[in-house]
């Protein structure tokens, strides 16, 4: 009850505009382009954005990239990993520099749940949580603060595609045409990869991480969709093995599922050597024939973070860095595996 009273008090303060300090924050919103009002459907209903938002908070984990690509600086973002100022990786921070007097967004945490009180104190006029796990209860609380664009219906939590993120954000900020051009530009690059690497076509491939054993990503995860965008196919029965989630752990008895024509691993820093020495994994053909790719946690070269974000800003890094590794993995020569 005390927590609820605190939340209501903060909410009342936000709605009456009586907060201190935030009034001097720089304008961080979209231009007045695009048609408003706009209605955006989500998992829990319809979100109506009446006019170009001026104070956007992201409770999803990657939407800041789409916003910055469209020239919009959110007032707050939500930390996923990396502990970067503003929760902005270098590819997004570069876009922040294009804005005169733009402040680095405040960083929120969702480790103990959404920080409703902090969000209310920021006085947002739009909250975006497309790449998220917002619950119905969360959505009700968030919409009491501001119009909230939650994850779309029909996909698992954290399963929205980068195209939908970019285009939905474009709708919300009144820049649908610009968002569509960004998406088409990246899709053109994927088409070029497929043309340049016909050896990828139709080969079964998989994305995985050694998190609490063997964690594999399903067909509805953005990382897995990278493989199909390159021309690979995902293994038959993949979703049956993991259920209706974006990914799940498999037991040691099912380790043969990892034995694909290409396998991309995301080990944490220093985890590659341990994985290669794993007594179960090291004897699979995907390992002995060098058909596995290791994108180890390393924020200096950006590929690890970019492949997790899968955004209009991070994908050029993925295309430049991951494609050569995959080409080396499937060329039939274990010695060339990157």
The verdict on 215 and 304 lying in the same domain is: yes
The verdict on 166 and 204 lying in the same domain is: no
Summarised one tens digit per residue, pLDDT across range 75-133 is 999 999 999 999 999 999 999 875 555 689 999 999 999 999 999 999 999 999 999 99
Tokens (6 digits) for 220: 């509805």
Q: How many domains does the chain have?
A: 2
The verdict on 267 and 157 lying in the same domain is: no
Asked whether residue 33 is domain-assigned, the answer is no
Domain holding 212, by residue range, is 198-331
294: domain CATH number? 3.40.50.1980
Summarised one tens digit per residue, pLDDT across range 238-277 is 988 888 788 999 999 999 999 999 999 999 888 999 999 9
The verdict on 158 and 219 lying in the same domain is: no
What one-character-per-residue DSSP string does 86-104 give?
Answer: GG--HHHHHHHTTSTTPPP
Compute the radius of gyration of the chain from its Cα atoms.
21
pTM of the predicted protein model: 0.86
The verdict on 252 and 159 lying in the same domain is: no
Asked whether residue 29 is domain-assigned, the answer is no
The verdict on 160 and 221 lying in the same domain is: no
The verdict on 213 and 319 lying in the same domain is: yes
Asked whether residue 6 is domain-assigned, the answer is no
The verdict on 171 and 42 lying in the same domain is: yes
Task: Please report the pLDDT score of residue 34 as a whole number.
Answer: 55
The verdict on 164 and 76 lying in the same domain is: yes
Length of the chain, in residues? 338
Residue that finishes a domain, picked among 107, 142, 175? 175
Q: Residue 258: is it exposed, middle or buried by C-beta count within 10 angstroms (0-12/13-18/19+)?
A: buried
Q: Is the pLDDT of residue 18 over 80?
A: no
Asked whether residue 187 is domain-assigned, the answer is no
The verdict on 44 and 168 lying in the same domain is: yes
Asked whether residue 168 is domain-assigned, the answer is yes
Summarised one tens digit per residue, pLDDT across range 27-44 is 233 444 457 999 999 999
Strand ranges for 76-221 from DSSP E: 76-78, 106-108, 126-128, 148-149, 205-209, 214-217
Q: Is the pLDDT of residue 337 over 80?
A: no
The verdict on 324 and 234 lying in the same domain is: yes
């Amino acid at each position: 009850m005390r927590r609820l009273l605190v939340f209501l008090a903060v909410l009342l303060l936000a709605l009456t505009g009586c907060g201190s300090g935030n009034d001097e924050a720089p304008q961080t919103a979209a231009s007045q382009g695009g048609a408003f009002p706009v209605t955006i459907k989500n998992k829990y209903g319809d979100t109506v954005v009446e006019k170009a938002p001026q104070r956007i908070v992201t409770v999803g984990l990657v939407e800041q990239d789409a916003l910055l690509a469209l020239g919009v600086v959110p007032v707050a973002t939500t930390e996923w990993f990396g502990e970067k100022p503003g929760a902005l990786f270098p590819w997004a921070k570069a876009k922040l520099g294009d804005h005169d007097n733009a402040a680095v967004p405040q960083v929120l945490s969702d480790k103990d749940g959404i920080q409703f009180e902090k969000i209310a104190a920021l006085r947002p006029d739009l909250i975006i949580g497309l790449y998220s796990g917002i619950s119905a209860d969360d959505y009700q609380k968030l919409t009491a603060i501001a119009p909230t664009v939650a994850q779309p219906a029909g996909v698992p939590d954290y399963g929205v595609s980068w195209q939908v993120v970019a285009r939905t954000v474009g709708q919300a900020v009144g820049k649908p045409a610009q968002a569509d051009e960004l998406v088409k530009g990246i899709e053109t690059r994927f088409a070029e990869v497929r043309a340049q690497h016909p050896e990828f076509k139709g080969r079964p491939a998989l994305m995985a991480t050694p998190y609490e054993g063997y964690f594999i990503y399903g067909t509805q995860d953005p990382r897995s969709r990278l493989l199909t965008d390159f021309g690979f196919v995902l293994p038959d029965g993949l979703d049956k093995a993991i259920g209706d989630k974006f990914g799940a752990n498999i037991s040691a008895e099912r380790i043969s599922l990892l034995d694909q024509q290409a396998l991309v691993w995301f080990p944490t820093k220093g985890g590659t050597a341990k994985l290669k020495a794993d007594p179960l994994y090291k004897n699979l053909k995907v390992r002995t024939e060098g058909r596995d790719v290791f994108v180890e946690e390393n924020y200096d070269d950006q590929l690890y973070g970019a492949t997790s974000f899968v955004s209009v800003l991070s994908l050029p890094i993925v295309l430049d860095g991951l494609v050569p590794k995959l080409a080396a993995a499937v060329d039939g020569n274990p010695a060339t595996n990157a």
